[in-house]
Amino acid sequence: MLSAIFLGLSFYSQTHWMIFTFLVFIFFVLILYFSERRARKILNELVRILLLGIIVGIPSIIFNFYQGMMIRETVERGLVVKVERDMWMLNNAFRLEYFSLFLLAILSFILHRKFDVKYFFIFSGFFVGYFLFFADYILGIYMQIGGHVIIPFKFMAKIGIGLLIERVEEIVKKFKMKILGVFTNMILIFMFFAFVSSSLFVFYYFASQLALSYNREKIKIFREVTSWIKITYPLNP
């Protein structure tokens, strides 16, 4: 029921998130359909989730149906920006950060031999997210969806990496490979501090740059405008 409710709430969100949600859902259903018979039994539950989700999202669907002008402007300005093969998202697909996350997440599924619905869902999440990196180039249409799927892709990929760590720990315990456990822990500690330090560095760097240039000029203009309003339209005439 909670899954259906959150699926229905995606209708009230931006178009980018709704597209990602339904692509993951469709890919997840296809994987279950072509997998074991045990997994196919869950398809009935997924159909119920889809139907209930649509019911929850009906008010948004009806509202947007009568907002043709707003939808058209959203598509023109927000979703489809221009008709050309933009290389920005394609280049991002091969950036060290995103490509490494994808490979590590895939590795977790290569090492697992027994899969359940949880693994299929996580795989669908980061696989579809990474596939959307190529959508602009394949379709020949530059869309802003790419920048919006980076966050859910990274989130699902890191869950997949968590499964990889879990699998490595199982191998360490089964074969008593303490050296592998120590090596894995060292890598995890390095990745954690690298992530924290790089995030803080990027945040403070851009914050300082904005404070020195962009924000200073905008604050100056804002003060001039407010001063003019106070003089022109005083509160106590």
Between CA 13 and CA 5 the distance in angstroms is: 13
Q: Among candidates 192, 193, 194, 170, which has minimal Cα distance to 180?
A: 170
Say yes or no: 36 and 149 in one domain: yes
Give the residue with greater pLDDT, 144 vs 107: 107
Q: Among candidates 156, 134, 123, 133, which has minimal Cα distance to 28?
A: 123
Final residue belonging to a domain, choices 176, 194, 217 = 176
Final residue belonging to a domain, choices 176, 194, 221 = 176
Say yes or no: 133 and 40 in one domain: yes
Indicate the pTM of the whole model.
0.65
Owning domain of residue 226? 181-237
pLDDT band at 146 (very low <50, low <70, confident <90, very high): low
Between CA 77 and CA 143 the distance in angstroms is: 9
Q: Are 167 and 115 in contact (CB under 8 A)?
A: no
Min mean pLDDT across 24-33, 62-71, 159-168, 169-178 is at 62-71
Say yes or no: 112 and 223 in one domain: no
Say yes or no: 162 and 209 in one domain: no
Final residue belonging to a domain, choices 176, 209, 225 = 176
pLDDT at 75 > cutoff 80: no
Say yes or no: 115 and 148 in one domain: yes
Between CA 125 and CA 202 the distance in angstroms is: 27
Say yes or no: 211 and 106 in one domain: no
Structural domain count of the chain = 2
pLDDT band at 202 (very low <50, low <70, confident <90, very high): low
Helix (H) or strand (E) holding 80: strand 80-82
Say yes or no: 102 and 40 in one domain: yes
Say yes or no: 155 and 62 in one domain: yes
Between CA 50 and CA 12 the distance in angstroms is: 15
Say yes or no: 141 and 233 in one domain: no
Give the residue with greater pLDDT, 77 vs 141: 141
Predicted confidence (pLDDT) per residue in 106-140, tens digit: 888 887 766 778 888 888 999 998 988 888 778 77
Q: Where are the alpha helices (DSSP H) in the chain?
A: 2-9, 15-33, 37-40, 43-65, 68-74, 88-93, 96-111, 117-131, 135-139, 145-175, 178-212, 214-232
Mean pLDDT of 8-35: 80
The mean predicted confidence, pLDDT, of the chain is: 78
Tokens 């962009």 found at: 214
Say yes or no: 90 and 74 in one domain: yes
Say yes or no: 144 and 197 in one domain: no
Say yes or no: 78 and 7 in one domain: yes
pLDDT at 201 > cutoff 80: no
pLDDT at 207 > cutoff 80: no
- The pLDDT of residue 56: 92
pLDDT band at 52 (very low <50, low <70, confident <90, very high): very high
